[in-house]
Amino acid sequence: MAVSDQELNTAVAITGRFENAGDPWRGVTGDFDGMGISCGVLQWNIGSASLQPMVKAVGQAVVLREAPTIGADLWRACNAGVATGLAIVRGWQTGTKLKAIPARELASLMGSPEMKAQQTSRIRVVAERADVLADSWAKAAGRNARTLRELVWFFDLVTQNGGLKGLTLADVRAFIQTSTPGRADDVVCDWLLAAPAAWWGRLDCIRNAGLWRDKVTPAQLELFALSYLRSGLSNSKARGVVMNRKGALAIGKGWVNSQLFDFSGQI
């Protein structure tokens, strides 16, 4: 089924909150993940060369208008190689934190009408991929249509993790069945409670273990179990934060990036 504008806005608003406080369109972060700077709803960045085409598309005049102090350097960073671009934008930071002027001007650029149009066009592509995955998941479960919750879950998956890496509903049901009857959710919570110190989001894992234990409904269980199985296929340090995000979406509530999110009534 096609993704409506309202569904798209909901997916953006919910998943964007994990990364950006306030307006996700204008969200900017520094080099916390080695990507130089990450900007906008889907955190397009210099390191993966996903931000550069958007900056070029809006044009130098818009960049200089919205970022009069750093605009010339940003334009140069986006028209050079990735290594040069990273070196330029890292010069705007103290450690991994953007200084005030670069942060303000990047937010202004990302929130401009021209850049919002670029973001929207790229978000729509992601949403269409998520819709296909969510629809396939629903049909495998014997339903005619996916839910909004499933769309948002798969939207976050495509945005952050790419895809399912071969996981299927059959894998999820096998995990649930082979766990001690009625204990699949406890297996996940025990795993979270034992999160290694090296995991990103470890404290959130521990909080979520307490928040989710014995709270997963039958209707939520398969998507929750899928969250766990997909997390296990992620980079070892990222497994906890992947589960925190996906579990929060599957359940409708959870700790992510040291903040408690509650999506009751939204998905």
Q: Is 199 a residue whose pLDDT tops 80?
A: yes
User: How large a percentage of the chain has pLDDT more than 90?
Assistant: 85
Distances in Å between the Cα of 157 and the Cα atoms of 80, 97, 161, 162 are 30, 26, 5, 6
Quote the CA–CA distance of 75 and 95 in Å, as a whole number. Answer: 22
Predicted TM-score (pTM) of this structure = 0.84
Mean pLDDT of 42-52: 92
Between 34 and 106, residue with greater pLDDT: 106
Q: Convert the pLDDT of each residue in 108-155 to its tens digit.
A: 999 999 999 999 999 999 999 999 999 999 999 999 999 999 999 999
Does residue 44 surpass a pLDDT of 80?
A: yes
Model confidence at 17, pLDDT cuts 50, 70, 90, reads confident
Residue 97 has pLDDT above 70, yes or no: yes
Mean of pLDDT values over 193-214: 97
pLDDT at 214: 95
pLDDT score recorded for residue 231: 97
Lowest mean pLDDT of 37-41, 203-207, 248-252, name the range: 37-41
Task: Give the separation between CA 258 and CA 241, rounded to whole angstroms.
Answer: 10
Task: Spell 15-35 as b/e; 16+ CB within 10 A means b.
Answer: bbbbbbeeebbbbbbbbeeeb
Place of tokens 């470890």: 202
Residue 264, burial from CB neighbour count under 10 angstroms (0-12, 13-18, 19+): exposed
Mean pLDDT, residues 73-88: 97
Please determine, for residue 19, whether its predicted confidence score (pLDDT) is greater than 80.
no
Which conformational region is residue 17 in: left (phi greater than 0), alpha (psi within -120 to 50 degrees), or beta?
Answer: alpha
Confidence of residue 20 (pLDDT cuts 50, 70, 90): low
**Mean pLDDT score across all residues of the chain:** 94
User: Which of helix, strand or coil describes residue 111?
Assistant: coil
Given a cut of 80, whether residue 1 has pLDDT beyond it is no
pLDDT of 18: 83
Nearest to 16 by CA among 207, 233, 249, 228: 249
Percentage of the residues of the chain whose pLDDT score is greater than 70: 99
What CA–CA distance (Å, rounded) separates 167 from 203?
Answer: 27
Q: Which pLDDT score is estimated for 143?
A: 96
Query: What are the residues whose beta carbons fall under 8 Å from the beta carbon of 133, sequence distance 6 or more?
Result: 154, 157, 158, 163, 164
**pLDDT in the model for residue 181:** 84
- Residue 228 in this model has a pLDDT that exceeds 90: yes
